[in-house]
Chain A
């Protein structure tokens, strides 16, 4: 388990991290979201030891994270980093060995990853000769090649086409299934929603919401209904405990937010009284909604 405890970091007058805490369990994918400058990259750099925290602690398997634990961590920095003029395969073998893998295992692991990520035919090319998408695959391979026990990935999917996203996601999932915890940051919230078991929303260096994706969605007990009725707009105004959350969609549907004590069947009755009901279904709050709310709060 990875535990981030009360991290604090200042750059001059600017507070980057203000007592940030969260934990990632084995086999869990933790999505780290927040606006630019919220402190995601700073947190990841501190976990990897390339930046020092002013206060707080990072713990791995119950002990303070040390150099040996970091060597067993796969890291993909926000600013991609590979030797542009080094051959892909040589580079991955080198990085695996720097993380302590013996030569034969480093080579086997490299070849397996190149195969898995669909770039086996590019092993002898220099990194700079690859397309940006393929360079990104190599970058992920660099984070995975030493068979890490923990993965920390800063924006791993940015700039990838949907096929690339699928390939990378599958490679990640394969690691997660062996019990490796993954922390990754992303601006692509629907991707986070799809891939993550739990999510942390960070704002101004503090965690403003964290937990399982489903748990967060249902937090506060607010239910949402999407209702389409052949009736003039405004039919739902004034219903007790009901708020119209959106304007009418092109098909005339509206999204209603129900207070916890409101019976959805009563709302359905009201709708039927207003006109013919074409659609009536609960909608889950998306991560985008959660994010907007959390950031706006």
Chain B
């Protein structure tokens, strides 16, 4: 061959791993600086902060009352405080005249006023804890008055009546933290569902974008379909993980700072569960979404081909919501192990329920197996379908479409 040798230096070979890295980096960078991504991250962050702060405000609604005392009722102050302490409420007491008391109560500055032993004034009604406290204090005042009328020393009577509170032995005590753990599990499930579904679907959109813009033909003239698919899934997945980590860091920092949670296993376990199961769930659904998306050439057709995945993930989500409040039901135990339901059901069950180590190991092992099996099928479907444009391909056509 008398061809003149090219004068420029030859480019080095591009390994498959290098191609995957390049594709993954493009996905990560391009999507990471996409405005809609930044906006959605900010919105998610705000929602997370709002949930944390609101739950803190709601949970921190300690009972505290302002009570006015007038005339002979001022003697009830020590008794009120003792009662308040016993019932774990806070009572601020101040001395007022009866007229003042009525005005302050009407204006809402006082929750109630004791005008005299046996006589109180409130704006609308006297309820719950405050009623019990005032009743007690008032009755004590009236009682002491009567004891004195009969020549008895109230202090002696009080001493005689002062007995130890009832000793209680619980045979099956409720878990003090159960509610809180379920709450965290619920928020984690919500987050996990959003991440797995959102990022998995993003892979589908990316595959169709490459098909509809035909850039896939340029790409596949230089990289293998497998490298393109792997790089895409890795890049988008890493972005999802990064977003999740950022949300976790900010969310936990705020939650700890406001005192909503303590930084301990209570936070770390659910967090680790969400991150770990995000990786497994994303790998599974992203692969399935990619294979489905390769069958169509237009975004409008995407809905149809991804319906099976959407239904499974939505079903898992509702099962997970249910499981976060009934983590030890037999059905929850099974769904927490069987892929792909385990993606969303396992974390709330593990966080809120009573789980044996073997259950978690089995769930993870089955899930990894499912991902490997799916990846084999999905890669072939993707290769068979990704260069075929036009009407949506059937699964069978995609399966047979691979040519190299």
Contacts and interface: CB of A to CB of B under 8 A. Distances in A.
Given A51-B387, A61-B1, A99-B222, A81 B216 contact: yes
Interface residues of A, number: 45
B222 A147 contact: no
A100 B34 CA distance: 27
A75 interface: yes
Contacts of B389: 79
B215 interface: yes
Contacts of A77: 214, 217-218
A175 to B, nearest CB: 11
B362 interface: no
| Best-surrounded residue of A48, A75, A97, A105 (most CB of chain B within 10 A) | A97
| Best-surrounded residue of A95, A98, A178 (most CB of chain B within 10 A) | A98
Interface string B310-351: 000000000000000000000000000000000000000000
B403 interface: yes
A75 B1 CA distance: 24
| Best-surrounded residue of A72, A79, A83, A90 (most CB of chain B within 10 A) | A83
B208 to A, nearest CB: 13
Interface in A69-118: 70-73, 75, 77, 79-86, 90, 94-95, 97-102, 105
| Best-surrounded residue of A27, A61, A81, A95 (most CB of chain B within 10 A) | A81
Nearest to B404: A52
A142 B221 CA distance: 12
A100 B4 contact: no
A50 B4 CA distance: 28
Given A83-B209, A94-B22, A99-B222, A1 B1 contact: yes
Contacts of B176: none
Contacts of B19: 98
A39 B30 CA distance: 37
B3 A147 contact: no
A80 B23 CA distance: 20
Contact of B218 (A61, A81, A105, A147): A81
A49 B213 contact: no
Interface string B190-230: 00000000000000000001100111111111111000000
B5 to A, nearest CB: 8
Interface SS, B side: loop
A101 B213 contact: no
A27 B403 contact: no
A97 B223 CA distance: 11
Contacts of A61: 1, 3
A68 interface: yes
A71 B30 CA distance: 24
Interface in B1-44: 1, 3-4, 6-8, 11-14, 19, 22-23, 26, 30, 34
Interface string A36-55: 00000000010011111000
B403 A94 contact: no
Contacts of B6: 149, 178-180
Interface SS, A side: loop
The contact size tier of chain B is: 20 to 34
A179 B221 contact: no
A95 B404 CA distance: 22
Contact of A83 (B14, B213, B217): B213
Contacts of B209: 83
A101 B13 CA distance: 9
A62 interface: yes
B219 A98 contact: yes
Given A72-B11, A98-B222, A50 B217 contact: yes
Contacts of A72: 11
Given A71-B14, A81-B214, A101-B11, A50 B221 contact: yes
Interface in A159-205: 178-180
A70 B221 contact: yes
A8 interface: no
Given A52-B404, A99-B222, A27 B215 contact: no
Nearest to B215: A81
B214 A79 contact: yes
Nearest to A67: B224
Interface in A118-160: 142, 146-147, 149
Contacts of B3: 1, 25-26, 61, 179
Interface of A: 1, 25-27, 45, 48-52, 61-62, 67-68, 70-73, 75, 77, 79-86, 90, 94-95, 97-102, 105, 142, 146-147, 149, 178-180
Given A26-B3, A62-B1, A179-B3, 11 more contacts: A1-B3, A48-B221, A61-B3, A68-B13, A81-B215, A84-B213, A85-B34, A98-B22, A98-B223, A100-B14, A149-B6
